[in-house]
Amino acid sequence: MSKHPTYRTEGAIERFDERDTVFSREAFVWGSPNEVEYHRRHPERIEVDRRLAAFINAKTEEAEKAGPDVLGPGDRLGRAVYESLFVPPAALALPDMVDGEPAPVEVVWPPREASDRIKDYASRLGADDVRIGPLRQEWVYSHRGSRPFFHEGYTNSPYFTGIPDGYQGAHYGDPVTLSHAHAVSMAFRQDRDLIATGSTRAVDFEVGRIYAKGALASVQLARFIRSLGFPARAHHLRNYLVMLVPVAVDAGIGELARTGYVVSRTLGANFRLSCVTTDLPLAHDSPVDIGMQDFCNKCMKCATNCPSQAIPRDDQTLVHGVWKWKLDEEACLLYWGRTGYTCGICQVVCPWTKPQNAFHRIVASLAVHQSWLRRGLVLGDDIVYGARFKAKPVPSWLAGNE
């Protein structure tokens, strides 16, 4: 427990523009008004954004054009996995899925009771950890940048071939307003053996499966709270208004780590997040201090093993008012583009990503409380699990005929 989150800030924290995320920029259609306007403001990103856009096209449209004669059986299986898991959650991104009007009568629960009930409910929906914290306005995106609800832009054909009737209100570049006071952060554990295959369709499968699970749980929880009479909005893979990582850190899911993700005492780095923001009066959990800032200074395992050198080996830098290790998201995503699959190497090599058994609980407790032992624990992890990532085989039910 800690009174304050362990990240350091300096000066005012600048809200992040969703249009600057790699997942917004990879969706550009070259020559579209959005693309032209964005690169007029950011000419330094033209070259890398062309390469990012090529990644998503390779995954979808170009592969479609290539047709079955060109796609080998392995590629077709990979596409089938990707489409089966990443496309359906787009239907959970519709405005009346993530948001809506609350019921006219409010349930009356004291905040502590409401928090306990919400956390139990979210756990039953499948979350492996649930924490509640404040929603700081600094973590609300300043402008919308992600698909699929753009008037003029890319409608993201694998997900939607057009903008559905009645959903013409949201535009790329709209300012974001979200005044909810509380955020319910949910963490969903990934299967370690599947992620340990490196950058394969087994990782696509597991990441897509868990994102879909988190998306459904967030939509269900938001609707549950609205039915209790309070505003609530789901934020998930296909429709975010907030930055899930700092929101989860403030709620105590874990600490900000060298990877740029959250690392949790129980889940390690091997999970995905979704979230519900609300005005239902809720008691907050405390942020946690499990020693990550010091641990990451003594451990480079993610950086050493990252195949794209996207994880920094040097000190934290000041980003938008927050001191952090700054992940090179472009290098990371371009690596995914080169392999054709999502990568989870950094999540699986992290010494905190371990099965929840008695031995690892004791080691985690030592890591939290005995800072002088941390270097030794990293060394121990190298000896037992190997300093270098070794990919596990893709299971037979996902193996292709390449």
Helix, strand, coil shares of the chain, percent, nearest 5, are 45, 10, 45
String of DSSP letters for 336-374: HHHHTS---HHHHHSTT----SHHHHHHHHHHHH-GGGH
Q: Is residue 171 within 8 Å of residue 144, measured between CB atoms?
A: yes
Please identify, using beta-carbon distances, which residue of 8 and 124 lies nearer to ligand SF4: 8
Residue 5 C-beta: closest distance to ligand SF4, Å: 16
Side-chain half-sphere of 366: how many Cα atoms within 13 Å? 15
Residue 29: CB atoms within 10 A of its CB come to 15
CA–CA gap between residue 295 and residue 313 (Å, rounded):
13
CB of 175 to ligand SF4, least distance (A): 31
Sign (positive/negative) of CA torsion 282, 287, 290, 296? positive
Q: Does 100 bind ligand SF4 (CB under 6 A)?
A: no
**Does residue 257 touch ligand SF4 according to CB under 6 A?**
yes
Q: At what angle do helices 374-385 and 358-369 cross, to 10 degrees?
A: 150
- For position 144 contacting ligand SF4 by CB under 6 A, the verdict is no
Please report, as residue ranges, which positions from 261 to 290 form the binding site for ligand SF4 (by CB under 6 A).
Answer: 263, 269
295 binds ligand SF4 (CB under 6 A): yes
Q: Does 306 bind ligand SF4 (CB under 6 A)?
A: yes
Residue 97 or 334 having the CB closest to ligand SF4: 334
Please report whether residue 301 would count as binding ligand SF4 according to CB under 6 A.
Answer: yes
Of 125, 244, 290, 299, the residue at the interface with ligand SF4 (CB under 6 A) is: 299
The DSSP code sequence of 261-309 is SEEBTTTBT-EEEEEEEE-S--PPPPP---SHHHHHHH--HHHHH-TT-
Q: Is 22 in the site for ligand SF4 (CB under 6 A)?
A: no
Whichever of 306 and 364 has its CB closer to ligand SF4, that residue is: 306
Residue 353 CB, shortest distance to ligand SF4, in Å, is 8
Q: Binding mask 315-334 vs ligand SF4 (x if CB under 6 A, - otherwise)?
A: -----------------x--
Chain residues binding ligand SF4 by CB under 6 A are: 257-259, 263, 269, 295-296, 299-302, 306-308, 310-311, 332, 335, 343, 345-346, 349-352
